């Protein structure tokens, strides 16, 4: 802090309302600045023994006594910061080894309290959101307990409210990911209550609104999701965070697609891609390019989709894991089928089906089989399509899908069993299952 603290910052320093890092920077400045010492000293006169006040020594000695006490607090805070950072690293390393929270609690003699532990729990909960939603919930729930029990010496009441808002927000998101939407609703209620009591931190506000938008999206309350994402976008713009603002646009593009507004989804996706830093969040860039091609495919513009795939093929081909490579192969197969390149489409969908089976993803493999059946029906080969439909239907039914998908698949299976299956019906079900695979809340609407 090269400039002097503003009057407002000086007042906040005295009240103890400055965030901890800002407090430490202010304290370091005050150690060096005699002018600021003079302004600050009267606020701390109550810390001095009464005999000093009644019989004051030299003025400079009074200030030195006062500031010694203030800076002792600052030094203690700095030591606590280092202790928290060390605990955060240790807990993060233990969680990364595997075994989850239960193992951590049972096998390691480590006090799970304080800001460092809280941050490690929240970090790991977020990191495993795609792999283990149940463990994500456990970690976030424990983080709420740690946040509630934070020592008042580590943060002032408003900062304490911020940390509780953050923990409850992450718990709400964890419940959403685990499909416990009523629990998510309750957790988000606590999060926003604490947010209102906090410091007014804009980054925290944007984070909570972003998580809440995901909750609204899961409930298909898209108007509310869009409103929350608009707040997120403008807040990050205000903070000068172009990348994070772009991410909000990309999420909004996905929800626009789910809502059926493909053109708006393409527009938002393009705007978001221009704003994000693909080096900062490579997975986000890959997802967005994949979605762009998917949106173009959805409107039936197969040549444009191929151009988009060709445009990004070097970047797409050198990133992502095996599952991502299979999704790209699926896009290529759909483009070939759309352009009636039947042999290429059939060979590629076979590769996709085998790859999903190797990866242990039977639902995706069954959908690839239905795509193969659709290619056969489009060429008038009913006898080749029938066993593929029946085989895929059994997989879907054995996986006990939700009612919407279950009903669509059962009707499809029975019509093909009775030799009554039609190309139009199969097209409707495959189109629905493609969207359902992305958004499990999609509704099946057959053509009239």
268/195 Cα distance (integer angstroms): 29
**Taking 60 as the threshold, does the pLDDT of residue 2 lie above it?**
no
Distance CA 80, CA 154 (A): 8
Q: How far apart are CA 86 and CA 324, in angstroms?
A: 36
Mind listing the pLDDT tens digit for each residue in 252-295? 999 999 888 999 999 999 999 999 998 888 888 888 988 999 99
| Average pLDDT value for the chain | 81
pTM: 0.72
Least confident stretch, 121-130, 214-223, 362-371:
121-130
For the residues 374-403, what does the mean pLDDT come to?
Answer: 86
pLDDT at 441: 67
Contact 371, 431 (CB under 8 A): no
Asked if pLDDT for residue 16 goes beyond 70, the answer is: no
Task: Give the residue-averaged pLDDT of 108-133.
Answer: 76
Residue 72 tokens, joined: 């002792």
Query: Contacts for 74-79 with beta carbons within 8 Å, 24 or more apart?
Result: 74/23, 74/24, 74/27, 74/28, 77/20, 77/23, 77/24, 78/24
pLDDT greater than 60 at residue 53? no
Q: Could you report the per-residue pLDDT of 82-104, keeping only the tens digit for each? A: 666 666 777 666 667 777 676 76
Per domain, the residue ranges of the chain are 7-77, 361-448
State the sign of the Cα–Cα–Cα–Cα dihedral 322, 324, 330, 335: negative
Per DSSP, the three-state class of 253 is helix
Per the CB < 8 A criterion, the answer to whether 170 and 126 are in contact is yes
CB of 211 closer than 8 Å to CB of 434: no
Summarize pLDDT for 319-372 with one digit per residue, the tens: 666 777 888 889 999 999 999 999 999 999 999 999 998 888 888 899 999 999
Question: Which among 304, 233, 246 is positioned nearest to 273, based on CA atoms?
Answer: 246
- CA 35 and chain centroid, separation: 46
């Amino acid at each position: 802090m090269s400039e002097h603290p503003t009057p407002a910052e000086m007042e906040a320093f005295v009240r103890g309302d400055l965030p901890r890092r800002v407090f430490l920077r202010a304290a370091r400045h005050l150690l060096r600045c005699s002018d600021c010492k003079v302004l600050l000293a009267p606020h701390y006169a109550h810390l001095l023994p009464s005999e000093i006040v009644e019989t004051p020594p030299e003025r400079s000695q009074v200030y030195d006594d006062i500031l010694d006490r203030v800076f002792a607090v600052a030094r203690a805070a700095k030591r606590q910061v280092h202790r928290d950072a060390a605990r955060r690293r240790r807990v993060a390393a233990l969680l990364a080894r595997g075994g989850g929270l239960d193992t951590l609690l049972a096998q390691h003699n480590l006090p799970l309290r304080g800001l460092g532990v809280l941050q490690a729990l929240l970090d790991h909960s977020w990191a495993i959101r795609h792999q283990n939603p149940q463990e994500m919930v456990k970690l976030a729930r424990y983080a709420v307990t740690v946040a509630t029990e934070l020592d008042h010496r580590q943060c002032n009441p408003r900062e304490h409210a911020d940390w509780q808002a953050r923990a409850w927000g992450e718990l709400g998101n964890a419940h959403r990911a685990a499909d416990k939407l009523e629990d998510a609703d309750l957790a988000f209620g606590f999060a926003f209550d604490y947010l209102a009591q906090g410091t007014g931190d804009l980054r925290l506000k944007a984070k909570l609104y972003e998580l809440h938008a995901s909750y609204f999206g899961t409930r298909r309350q898209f108007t509310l999701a869009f409103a929350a994402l608009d707040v997120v976008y403008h807040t990050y713009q205000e903070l000068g965070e172009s990348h994070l603002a772009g991410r909000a646009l990309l999420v909004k593009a996905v929800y626009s697609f789910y809502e059926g507004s493909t053109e708006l989804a393409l527009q938002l996706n393009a705007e978001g891609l221009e704003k994000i830093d693909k080096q900062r969040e490579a997975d986000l860039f890959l997802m967005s390019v994949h979605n762009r091609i998917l949106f173009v495919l959805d409107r039936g513009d197969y040549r444009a989709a191929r151009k988009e795939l060709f445009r990004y093929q070097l970047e797409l081909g050198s990133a992502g894991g095996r599952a991502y490579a299979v999704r790209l192969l699926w896009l290529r197969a759909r483009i070939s089928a759309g352009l009636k390149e039947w042999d290429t489409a059939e060979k590629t969908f076979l590769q996709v089906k085998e790859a999903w089976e190797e990866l242990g993803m039977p639902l995706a493999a069954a959908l690839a089989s239905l795509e193969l059946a659709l290619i056969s029906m489009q060429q008038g080969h009913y006898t080749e399509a029938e066993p593929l439909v029946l085989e895929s239907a059994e997989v879907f039914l054995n996986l006990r899908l939700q009612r919407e998908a279950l009903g669509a698949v059962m009707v499809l299976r029975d019509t093909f069993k009775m030799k009554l299956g039609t190309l139009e019906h199969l097209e409707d079900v495959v189109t629905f299952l493609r969207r359902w695979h992305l958004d499990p809340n999609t509704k099946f609407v057959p053509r009239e």
